[in-house]
Structure 1
Amino acid sequence: MKLALAQHQQTWQLFSLFLMTVVCYFITLKAPFYLDDASSIYENVHRLGLPLLEVFNLYGLRGVAYASFALNYQVSGLDIAGFHLTNNAIHFFCAAFVYLLTKECCRAKQVSTAWLPFVVALVFVCHPLSSQAVTYIVQRIASLAGLFYFASLYFYLLTRQAHKSKEVLIYGFITGLFILLALFTKQNTVAIFLSIFLLEWLVLGALANKFKLVFVGFLGCLMLAALLVAFSESFQQGVLWLDAYTRETTEITRLAYFETQIRVVGEYIQRLFVPNSLQLEYTTPIADGLFTKVSGYIWLHVALLITAIYCVKKQPLISFGIFFYYTAQIVESSFIPIRDVAFDHRTYIPNFGLILAVVVAIYHAVKRFDIKPFIVVLSAMSIIAVYSSITIKRNALWLDPVAFYQYELAISTNKARVHNALAQLYMESEQWRKASEHFEQAVVLTDEPGMRALYISNYIAAVKNSGELEQAISLTQTYLPLVNSNEARKQLLTNLGFIYIQKREASNAFSAFKNVMTMDNRPPPNEANLGMALSLWALKRQSQAKIYLQRTISNDPENDYARQLLEKLKAQGF
């Protein structure tokens, strides 16, 4: 009878999680693509259309995530609702495994499973901080990694608690499969082995008698590593390889990145409790590595870690939650420099730990101080309602890209990518002056040479489209010396040539296109071939124009305009 009631309770609690997912995220089905969705999805269909195994091989340690994008594309094309439905489903299954994992942790520590796991999962599913990993399509990478991460830990607990060898084999195989899927979805999931260690130590209690042995072994490994560094040249080469492999950028030192992350993780914690002013991109300054400006955040982390250590024996689930939070961020928020220092989707997996720790702490406080149930229920419902409403409001903002980017810039204008994205939307609606203003800001703000060249090209195009041809020419001549890439210079000169054509200055157009053709041995942009043809035609050199029209058509057989011009030349006897 009790088992049947427990099964019934679990069923309706899981169904409630599904309903909460629908309530919070159904609105996202019409949210458009954003920023990195371009390079990963809708401008990447030539790869996503390949067989899934080829897609997996192309993307290495993110192969599973990109194979899922490919599957979406191959089933429903670029239908935005299909991508969002998949993301929403992943989020629900993540919440379901958070629920099941919490339930197994509670059983192992003889804590009531009636409501605690449900509350943890409910907060997880409706929390605004999770929305970026769900609504921002490309960040399925983070939520799918979370799904495999939580599923691995759940089945690991089942494996460790199984009594029959058949169950051990089945659960063990499933655990291994989910770990592999996690590792080939996103690199940060390598922290799963630390999470398993925490399960053994704080949930299963299996390391209690072996901890000293583990600690001695760890010290021994450190001493051995030190000896190898001192005496082994090949090992030193391996260390250099490891240094290169464990950094995305060389522009930030490891110490400066670590100091920056002390602040970033502190801000993550603040937003977990008070999720206001959420942003897609944060303008967190890079620290100097001297640790003089993060003392407040250091005390926050120290206080949490001291709490975790204090609770190891009396309330191990609180300790597990806090240690889980920090260890799950060890890849992206420690000593591995990444150019983009802060994104909310990076908290998708770690947040489970702090949510668990807080809910368990409240559970024990309620028991100890005999707080009346209706007060607890009312408080929990209020918190869920507030978080859900913020999530829905945040998701509603994603529906309107212009409003979304304006909101981002209202919080901080120091965002080159956001200025560029907003300007492109203004270009689509032919609001040239607004577009040029934001492209100009993008040029000023970016510190990436490759992106600066793109923003300059966009800026000049917007100015040209606004009818300010002289200003567009002046800007091109100003920015050309500042662009180092030949490909970018070719594009600027190609655009300059077309501006001269628009002004009916054929000689200047010819000079611009000639510079493109003779810059290096690599093929010019095909637009330059067409532009050269037009300028030669205007200069009454039709025979040479014919050659460049043929090149244009050879490179782009579907260029109808070039075909029409070529037919006219042939009709004139050329």
Structure 2
Amino acid sequence: MIASSTKSTPGSASEPAVPEPQATQRDVRPVSPARRRVRMILLLMLATLWAYRNSFAAPFTFDDTHAIVDNNAIRHLWPLSGVWISLRPLTNLTLAVNFHFGELNTFGYHVFNFFVHIVAGLALFGVVRRTLLLPRFAGRFETSADGIAFVSALLWMVHPLQTESVTYVIQRCESMMGMFMLLSLYCFLRGAAGRWSWLWQLGCAASMLAATWSKEVAVVMPAVLLLYDWVFLQSSPGEMLRRRGFVHLLVVLAALRLVWAALPAAVGPSEEAIAKGAEVSAGFGYQGVTAWEYFRSQPGVILHYLRLTFWPHPLNIDYGWPVAHGFWQVIVPGVVVTLMFVASAIGCWRRSPFGFLGMSFFIVLAPTSSFMPIADLAFEHRMYVPLASVVVLVVAVLYGLSLRAIEDESARRLALRTAVTLATLCLIITTVNRNRDYAEHIPLWAKSVELSPWNYRALFTYGQVLGRDGQSEAQIEQLEKSLKIIERGKTHTGLGIAHARLGDTVKAIEHYEAAIRTDPSYVLGYINYGNFRAREGDFPAAVDLYRRALKVQPNHGQAAFRLGMALYQN
């Protein structure tokens, strides 16, 4: 059989026409920029929630005790005059709201801290994104601004260095201050470049005021805004005054209000305040470290902060950072940090964005990392806002390097996404592990003692948490180590309680006596010794001790109550 070689023509009369195949794929519509930003915001929130998912049940720790648990000022929301006290009234008010709805249940406190951190991160996202779209950059980041802002905010929000400001409850003062500082910068930017400028300027000033009501470090914000105006808005001094002089004046007035309110603290608490139980362990001018000792130690602290930015392990809740001595501790770090500062200052003068990032890092750290001595030389929560400068700088530099190193756009995107994903996963895992430390007192303080065996306060606190766990022998061991470093009435009292719990009356009395001899102003030394005497049936001695406590602090409720009970049983 021979096959027919006749070809039929489509559409001929002998054979019906076969239609051409039609494309079955749906038209792929590009995601709108607004929808893409919404997805980014949701992803930022989800990633941060994943990093802090195990933080919401963490107990109060360290300064939470006197700032929250023993703080009578937050027990009532009304009248506000009872809450709106101290240099951080807004922080105090949020604690009062938490106590009103949940008393000492830590869940609500952690939810609020997490919310503050989310808002701060979103504000950072907005600041970076809108800054890159300013006319100063002539459209160079029109397609990449969202991505750079997203990565910067993401790494900042999930970074484990932030746990001390988020999971450690009372350090909401740091995160609240950071949130309002970033909101102030965002409002300043919107007021300079968009509609309703007067409304945004008022928002900038209001955010600045709220920042000062959260923590005193916000006093530096006017300098940050001036530098931002100079570098990114490219304003001359005359143009600054003409266009944005009003908002600059408002933020300066807010800072001056804080300076005026802080003047009493600058010279230390009065004798009357101390008699009423004022805290004297923190603040300016009365912590036993000279301005020179503090200043020469800070370069090493700053370099440590930067190391933790790139390698956030190990973290320590209480460093007890020692004063720097010698060539390697003073000169070498001092030279390195000085060169960084000079480079940042020169860059800022030349209106370099990198110069602004460097100077803003130093400016925000200045109140706690310069020549003004405060109670502790180093704390991780002080990096809450400065960390943003470092992260944004690193992200911008790496993005610029990727443009030069990888010409193919698809390959570059794959490399960047892979790097960001790996970095984010590493940071989240480290943050989760750090939050696991906060979940229990003993591991948290055991790690602190391991990292800072010279820190008498960490040893004392570790001993106390061991004692609350019923480990009296271990408590005594840690408190005796603390006592060898520095003798304090509080430590003697802890040893007295521990020995009394073990039935060693002689050593208990020895330490109780040493407590009131070492620190005659320590009220709890008299009260705990009085409690011991009352349990032993020596009510006359207990009455005398409670009365001595009331002489030190006449309005102490516990001392008055114990005195009444002892008089009744005497």
TM-score (norm 2): 0.79
2:480 to 424, 427, 440: 440
Write the distance in 1 (CA, Å) between the matches of 2:304 and 2:361: 14
Say whether 1:22 aligns with 2:49. Answer: yes
1:85 to 100, 111, 114: 111
**Cα RMSD (Å) of the superposition?**
3.1
Shift of 1:348: 0.3
Write the distance in 2 (CA, Å) between the matches of 1:265 and 1:205: 30
Pick closer, same or farther for the CA change 1:313–1:106 going to 2, 3 Å: farther
Q: Report 1:150-299 matches (<5 A).
A: 150-162=182-194, 164=195, 167-207=196-236, 244=267, 247-249=284-286, 251-287=288-324, 293-299=329-335
Pick closer, same or farther for the CA change 1:51–1:408 going to 2, 3 Å: same
Write the distance in 2 (CA, Å) between the matches of 1:528 and 1:115: 65
Q: Is the 8 A contact 1:318 1:360 kept in 2?
A: no
Shift of 1:445: 3.4
Write the distance in 2 (CA, Å) between the matches of 1:57 and 1:413: 39
Write the distance in 2 (CA, Å) between the matches of 1:40 and 1:131: 18
Q: Is the 8 A contact 1:155 1:171 kept in 2?
A: yes
Match of 1:144 in 2: 176
Say whether 1:49 aligns with 2:76. Answer: yes
Match of 2:247 in 1: none
Pick closer, same or farther for the CA change 1:477–1:37 going to 2, 3 Å: closer
TM-score (norm 1): 0.78
User: Deviations for 1:111-134, whole angstroms, at most 9, x for unmatched residues?
Assistant: 331310001001100111111000
Say whether 1:118 aligns with 2:150. Answer: yes
User: Deviations for 1:164-205, whole angstroms, at most 9, x for unmatched residues?
Assistant: 4xx012111211111111111111011111110121111111
Shift of 1:258: 1.4
Pick closer, same or farther for the CA change 1:421–1:482 going to 2, 3 Å: closer
Q: Is the 8 A contact 1:318 1:361 kept in 2?
A: no
Write the distance in 2 (CA, Å) between the matches of 1:2 and 1:158: 31
Match of 1:94 in 2: 120
Match of 2:448 in 1: 408
Deviates more, 1:74-83 or 1:127-136: 74-83
Aligned AA for 2:81? E
Aligned AA for 1:85? V
Say whether 1:12 aligns with 2:39. Answer: yes
Write the distance in 2 (CA, Å) between the matches of 1:468 and 1:4: 74
Pick closer, same or farther for the CA change 1:91–1:514 going to 2, 3 Å: closer
Deviates more, 1:395-404 or 1:514-523: 514-523
| Structure 1: stretches of 5+ with no match in the other structure | 212-239, 502-508, 532-547, 550-561, 567-574
Q: Secondary structure at the match of 2:84?
A: helix
Write the distance in 1 (CA, Å) between the matches of 2:524 and 2:103: 32
Pick closer, same or farther for the CA change 1:250–1:43 going to 2, 3 Å: closer
Write the distance in 2 (CA, Å) between the matches of 1:26 and 1:486: 40
Shift of 1:47: 3.2
| Structure 2: stretches of 5+ with no match in the other structure | 1-27, 241-262, 269-282
Aligned AA for 1:12? R
Shift of 1:363: 1.7
Q: Is the 8 A contact 2:231 2:351 kept in 1?
A: no
Say whether 1:354 aligns with 2:386. Answer: no
- Larger helix proportion, structure 1 or 2? 1
Q: Is the 8 A contact 2:158 2:428 kept in 1?
A: yes
Write the distance in 2 (CA, Å) between the matches of 1:405 and 1:367: 45
Write the distance in 1 (CA, Å) between the matches of 2:550 and 2:464: 32
Q: Is the 8 A contact 2:285 2:374 kept in 1?
A: yes
Write the distance in 1 (CA, Å) between the matches of 2:429 and 2:549: 57
Q: Report 1:296-311 matches (<5 A).
A: 296-308=332-344, 311=347
Aligned AA for 2:67? S
Shift of 1:515: 5.3
Pick closer, same or farther for the CA change 1:131–1:55 going to 2, 3 Å: farther
Say whether 1:32 aligns with 2:52. Answer: no
Shift of 1:309: 5.1
Pick closer, same or farther for the CA change 1:402–1:361 going to 2, 3 Å: same
Match of 2:352 in 1: 316
1:74 to 88, 100, 108: 100
Q: Secondary structure at the match of 1:184?
A: helix
2:471 to 431, 441, 446: 431
Shift of 1:68: 0.8
Shift of 1:493: 4.9
Write the distance in 1 (CA, Å) between the matches of 2:458 and 2:108: 25
Write the distance in 2 (CA, Å) between the matches of 1:431 and 1:41: 26
Say whether 1:328 aligns with 2:364. Answer: yes
1:131 to 146, 159, 163: 163
Pick closer, same or farther for the CA change 1:52–1:99 going to 2, 3 Å: farther
User: Deviations for 1:341-385, whole angstroms, at most 9, x for unmatched residues?
Assistant: 111111101111111111111122222333641222222221111
Write the distance in 2 (CA, Å) between the matches of 1:242 and 1:70: 23
Aligned AA for 1:153? L
Write the distance in 1 (CA, Å) between the matches of 2:52 and 2:549: 51
Q: Secondary structure at the match of 1:328?
A: helix
User: Deviations for 1:316-345, whole angstroms, at most 9, x for unmatched residues?
Assistant: 222221111111111111122101111111
Aligned AA for 1:393? N
2:526 to 487, 490, 502: 490
Aligned AA for 1:169? W
Pick closer, same or farther for the CA change 1:207–1:383 going to 2, 3 Å: farther
Shift of 1:500: 4.8
User: Deviations for 1:285-329, whole angstroms, at most 9, x for unmatched residues?
Assistant: 1246x8873222223323433543565598822222111111111
Q: Secondary structure at the match of 1:259?
A: helix
Match of 1:571 in 2: none
Aligned AA for 2:190? L
Match of 1:225 in 2: none
Aligned AA for 1:168? S
Write the distance in 1 (CA, Å) between the matches of 2:102 and 2:524: 35
Match of 1:339 in 2: 375
Write the distance in 1 (CA, Å) between the matches of 2:287 and 2:443: 35
Write the distance in 2 (CA, Å) between the matches of 1:370 and 1:209: 43
Deviates more, 1:296-305 or 1:271-280: 296-305
User: Deviations for 1:29-49, whole angstroms, at most 9, x for unmatched residues?
Assistant: 111110111111122245331
Shift of 1:25: 0.7
1:62 to 83, 88, 105: 88
Write the distance in 1 (CA, Å) between the matches of 2:539 and 2:96: 44
Write the distance in 1 (CA, Å) between the matches of 2:448 and 2:90: 31
Q: Is the 8 A contact 1:261 1:333 kept in 2?
A: yes
Pick closer, same or farther for the CA change 1:145–1:55 going to 2, 3 Å: farther
Query: Paired residues, what number?
Result: 491
Write the distance in 2 (CA, Å) between the matches of 1:23 and 1:8: 22
Shift of 1:262: 1.6
Identity of aligned residues (%): 20
2:417 to 373, 377, 395: 377
